[in-house]
């Protein structure tokens, strides 16, 4: 599949880039996508949640009323969770992360990219940078490409400080580079803006 290449002013350069069909036009695997997104979100969890259980509350352990004859349920310590002192089987700190094999994660990324290709939500831009790290530079770029009203993921070949600084105050764009591209970011974006130089890196990482 071939896509036209645009410049930072939103003009068609007359050049095209060929996308590898094994990556951008494969039959998507929804279950692989599900597992990869689940892992990314699980690995991001801190897992520091904690509440006190009955043994961690202060209070007497003396039986608060006699066993029988009161007309109500039997009851022991005042620290019983029934009285609001501690939570039964409350959350404790834990690690939510789990592992997936690399081959499955690659299939998930290729599936997500294939969905974007199928929906015609990929634009390729020739290599560029900003002279100054100003938000208006990034705003102008998105407007020129008619992406100012879309949630956009910009993928560059390598980290660029000026592009990162110019985009960080805008809610509708996220910047990443080819080595950090993941399934969740691809799916979260309405449109992918790929730097021409990032495509060989993406293809190389997903085919090897």
Asked whether residue 68 is domain-assigned, the answer is no
Asked whether residue 25 is domain-assigned, the answer is yes
Give how many domains the chain has, as a whole number.
1
Task: Look at the alpha carbons of 98, 103, 107, 112 in this order and tell me if their dihedral is positive or negative.
Answer: positive
Q: Average pLDDT, whole number, for the chain? A: 94
SS3 letters for 31-52?
Answer: HHHHHHHHHHHHHCCCCCCCCC
Q: Name the 3-class secondary structure at 10.
A: coil
Encode pLDDT of 157-175 as tens digits: 999 999 999 999 999 999 9
Asked whether residue 59 is domain-assigned, the answer is no
Residue 177 structural domain: 2-29+101-207
- Rounded to an integer, what distance in angstroms lies between the CA atom of residue 2 and that of residue 19? 6
24 pLDDT exceeds 90?
Answer: yes
Asked whether residue 198 is domain-assigned, the answer is yes
Asked whether residue 7 is domain-assigned, the answer is yes
CATH number of the domain where residue 146 is located: 3.40.1370.10
Could you identify the residue written with the tokens 């080595």? 179
Position 164 scores a pLDDT of 94
- Rounded to an integer, what distance in angstroms lies between the CA atom of residue 144 and that of residue 194? 15
Encode pLDDT of 91-140 as tens digits: 999 999 999 999 999 999 999 999 999 999 999 999 999 989 999 999 99
Position 59 scores a pLDDT of 87
What does the block give as tokens for 201? Answer: 């890196």
- Rounded to an integer, what distance in angstroms lies between the CA atom of residue 200 and that of residue 208? 12
pTM to 2 decimal places: 0.84
Asked whether residue 148 is domain-assigned, the answer is yes
Continuous H helices in 62-156: 102-118, 135-144
**Residue 91, strand partner residues:** none
Asked whether residue 12 is domain-assigned, the answer is yes
Asked whether residue 129 is domain-assigned, the answer is yes
């Amino acid at each position: 599949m071939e896509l036209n290449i645009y410049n930072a002013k939103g003009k068609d350069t007359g050049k095209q880039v060929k996308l590898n069909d094994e990556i951008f036009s494969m039959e998507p695997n929804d279950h692989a996508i599900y597992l990869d997104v689940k892992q990314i979100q699980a690995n991001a969890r801190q897992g520091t949640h904690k509440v006190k259980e009955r043994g961690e509350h202060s209070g007497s352990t003396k039986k608060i009323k006699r066993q029988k004859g009161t007309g109500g349920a039997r009851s022991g310590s005042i620290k019983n969770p029934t009285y609001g002192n501690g939570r039964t089987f409350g959350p404790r700190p834990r690690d939510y992360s789990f592992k997936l094999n690399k081959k499955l994660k690659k299939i998930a990324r290729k599936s997500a990219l294939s969905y974007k290709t199928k929906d015609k939500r990929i634009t390729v831009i020739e290599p560029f940078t900003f002279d100054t790290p100003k938000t208006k530079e990034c705003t102008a770029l998105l407007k020129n490409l008619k992406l100012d009203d879309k949630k956009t993921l910009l993928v560059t070949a390598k980290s660029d400080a000026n592009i990162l600084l110019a985009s960080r105050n805008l809610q509708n764009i996220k910047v990443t580079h080819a080595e950090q591209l993941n399934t969740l970011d691809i799916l979260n974006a309405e449109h992918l803006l790929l730097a021409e130089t990032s495509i060989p890196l993406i293809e190389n990482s997903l085919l090897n």
